[in-house]
Amino acid sequence: MDTHVETSEDSLDREWWTEAVVYQIYPRSFNDSDGDGVGDLSGIVENVAYLDELGVDAVWLSPVYESPGEDNGYDISDYRAIDDQYGELADWERLVECLHDRDIRLIMDLVINHTADEHAWFQRSRAGEEPYDDYYIWREGDPAEPPNNWESIFGGPAWSYDDQREAWYLHVFDESQPDLNWRNPDVRREIADVISWWREKGTDGFRIDAASHISKPEGLPDGDPDTDPTGIAHYSHGPTLDAYLEELTERTLGEAGVMTVAEMGHTTVEQAAEYVASESNGLEMVFQFDHVGIGDSPEDLFDPEASDEWDLTALKDIVTRQQTEIAWPAPFLGNHDLPRAVSLFGDDERYHRESATLLATFLLTLRGTPFVYQGDAIGMHNAEFQHLAEIDDVMTIGRVESLQEAGVIDSHEEVRQFVNERSRDHARTPMQWTDGKHAGFTDGSPWLKVNERYTEINVEAARADTHSVLAHYRELIDLRHEWAVLVDGDYELLLPEDEQLYAYRRTLSEETALIVLNWSAEPATFESPVPTDGADAVTGNYTDVPSTPDGTTFRPYEAAIYRL
Ligand code: NOJ
């Protein structure tokens, strides 16, 4: 059944995503309709009205394909099936229909660097069965000596020995996620067919997972042991990546109306700018991670010289480069792999509402297509984990094990500290819908603990409060839809050296917007370096928006937008 619903702009506006605000759903944690403790597709259908009320234009759905679930769906065992936990294909079709009925597009996650080891291709490959024998990256050799020194992003060697095939296979992520051999044209054909299959079913766009790792150098050289992880420079941006993307574009991704955003870890702003500028690789956008990596690297946590502080001027520098150097940026402050934005960038206790709404103002007044992560629109923040046993995330567990093996961490307290600083599970705790049992997420027992503050921070409470974080998101999303200067006006940073205020101008022909953010817990006075005569206050995150920006002392985490 083709569930693609033509919306009125389809034929007229090829670049629908330029005006869009995208909402990322992590389905496992969104809403559980059948009481098994895991979110599902029917649970999303039940809450499509919430997405509509928020005013978003598209949903990026993290993987719902059949999967053993070692990495919560980022390990696919069948690209054309829905995992039982999430429902079945008919539920997915119903979801697309409900979204399209409300003019909300659907972006699917494409995990094509690797599959699950339970995928039939890998099972046949490990049995040496043609043509699958060459679908993955195999090397023969001494079972005690991996083919090279590459390490996995999740910790430990990037190679595992398979007793059945009597050979090593490469996995840039977990050992249960063998890397596909993209040098093999049959693999590339299979992936293009998968994409076409989902496109024909009504998918409007794709987020390409781990896109920077798909191409590996020929001969698999050794990596530099000083990089973290060793080998990453070799298995990122490999020599044939452009060619693979171009081929996918010609076959399927280049189709009119299809939006593609590539997740590219370990990618500089310059590289991201080049990928986006290229006409032939099919990528409309790239997720570039410098701003969210502004804190320490995981190992630095136990380096006495390192500090957990981040600096506003450094953040301005990074975001300004993303805004001005990348032809079409994809701003985001959170996703399912990161700490909660309000915990990383704000003050999730004393100035919870103020800093969460400041972040909303920031995200929704940047140039490009903003991506809002599930839960951020109500200000969900990091959880407090007591034990490793409370953690589900394969990456946190892998990293703890390798830090323990290296003797970097040892005591229960050190493990607890690492987990609370770094775990991806902060972003994955169940969505907080109500102040009822398990935050209204499930009638059963949730797969991951619910954040303690759900009685206060939840959708029901936010809906009832006209000054809530949610109300502010709704207002700003509406504003963005009405005021083109916020979407594609030029971005110009003001006061680059100021350590409390982050201010910028957005300009599109005669229209100018001025955004002033006091990104600190202390008052800060804005001495405008540009004329602000006749400025109109458009909105702000305190109930009384200062009527004029110049010379005004902005309160802690105050955010205000002016029309100049
Ligand atoms: C990036 C995804 O966002 C992350 O969740 C996943 O673990 C890795 N890629 C591997 O697929």
pLDDT digits (tens, 9 = 90+) for 172-183: 999 999 999 999
**Given pLDDT bands bounded at 50, 70 and 90, which one contains residue 138?**
very high
Strand, helix or coil for residue 186: helix
For residues 80 and 205, give the distance between their C-alpha atoms in angstroms, rounded to a whole number.
Answer: 16
Instruction: Report which protein residue has its CA nearest ligand 1's atom 5.
Output: 337
Question: Ligand 1: residues whose CB is within 6 Å?
Answer: 71, 74, 111, 173, 209-210, 263, 336-337
Instruction: Report which protein residue has its CA nearest ligand 1's atom 6.
Output: 74
Atom of ligand 1 nearest to the CA of 337: 5
Sign of CA dihedral 135, 141, 143, 149: negative
Over 60: is that where the pLDDT of 1 sits? Answer: no
Over 50: is that where the pLDDT of 120 sits? Answer: yes
% of the chain with per-residue pLDDT over 90? 89
Instruction: Report which protein residue has its CA nearest ligand 1's atom 2.
Output: 209
pLDDT digits (tens, 9 = 90+) for 419-462: 998 899 999 999 999 999 999 999 999 999 999 999 999 999 99
| CA 233 to ligand 1 centroid distance, Å | 18
| CA 10 to ligand 1 centroid distance, Å | 31
Q: How deeply is 139 buried, as exposed, middle or buried, from its count of CB atoms within 10 A (0-12, 13-18, 19+)?
A: middle
Atom of ligand 1 nearest to the CA of 394: 7
| CA 213 to ligand 1 centroid distance, Å | 11
pLDDT digits (tens, 9 = 90+) for 149-172: 999 999 899 999 999 999 999 999
Neighbours of 337 (CB within 10 A): 16
pLDDT digits (tens, 9 = 90+) for 330-376: 999 999 999 999 999 999 999 999 999 999 999 999 999 999 999 99
Over 80: is that where the pLDDT of 303 sits? Answer: no
| CA 153 to ligand 1 centroid distance, Å | 10
| CA 75 to ligand 1 centroid distance, Å | 9
Over 60: is that where the pLDDT of 553 sits? Answer: yes
Q: What is the mean pLDDT of residues 92-111?
A: 98
Pocket test for ligand 1, best of 77, 154, 209, 426 (most atoms within 8 A of CB): 209
Atom of ligand 1 nearest to the CA of 424: 5
Name the residues annotated as catalytic: 209, 263
pLDDT digits (tens, 9 = 90+) for 285-297: 999 999 998 876 5
Pocket test for ligand 1, best of 26, 74, 264, 267 (most atoms within 8 A of CB): 74
| CA 337 to ligand 1 centroid distance, Å | 7
Instruction: Report which protein residue has its CA nearest ligand 1's atom 10.
Output: 74
CA-CA distances (angstroms) from residue 411 to 62, 150, 348, 353, 400? 34, 28, 27, 35, 11
Pocket test for ligand 1, best of 70, 75, 173 (most atoms within 8 A of CB): 173
**Given pLDDT bands bounded at 50, 70 and 90, which one contains residue 10?**
very low
Atom of ligand 1 nearest to the CA of 395: 7
pLDDT digits (tens, 9 = 90+) for 183-208: 999 999 999 999 999 999 999 999 99
| CA 518 to ligand 1 centroid distance, Å | 33
Over 60: is that where the pLDDT of 13 sits? Answer: no
Atom of ligand 1 nearest to the CA of 74: 11
DSSP structure string for 214-234: S---TT-PPPPTTSSSTTTTT
**Given pLDDT bands bounded at 50, 70 and 90, which one contains residue 2?**
very low
> Which domains, and CATH codes, for the chain?
7-114+185-382+452-475 (3.20.20.80), 120-170 (3.90.400.10), 489-563 (2.60.40.1180)
The HSE-up count of residue 156 (CA atoms within 13 Å, CB side) is 20
Report whether the peptide linkage leading into residue 239 is cis, meaning its omega lies within 30 degrees of zero. no
Q: Is 393 left (phi over 0), alpha (psi -120 to 50) or beta?
A: beta
For residues 273 and 364, give the distance between their C-alpha atoms in angstroms, rounded to a whole number.
Answer: 21
Using DSSP, how many helices (H) and how many strands (E) does the chain show?
15, 19
Over 70: is that where the pLDDT of 535 sits? Answer: yes
- pLDDT for res 421: 86
- pLDDT for res 132: 98
pLDDT digits (tens, 9 = 90+) for 269-283: 999 999 999 999 999
| CA 235 to ligand 1 centroid distance, Å | 15
Instruction: Report which protein residue has its CA nearest ligand 1's atom 11.
Output: 74
- pLDDT for res 199: 97
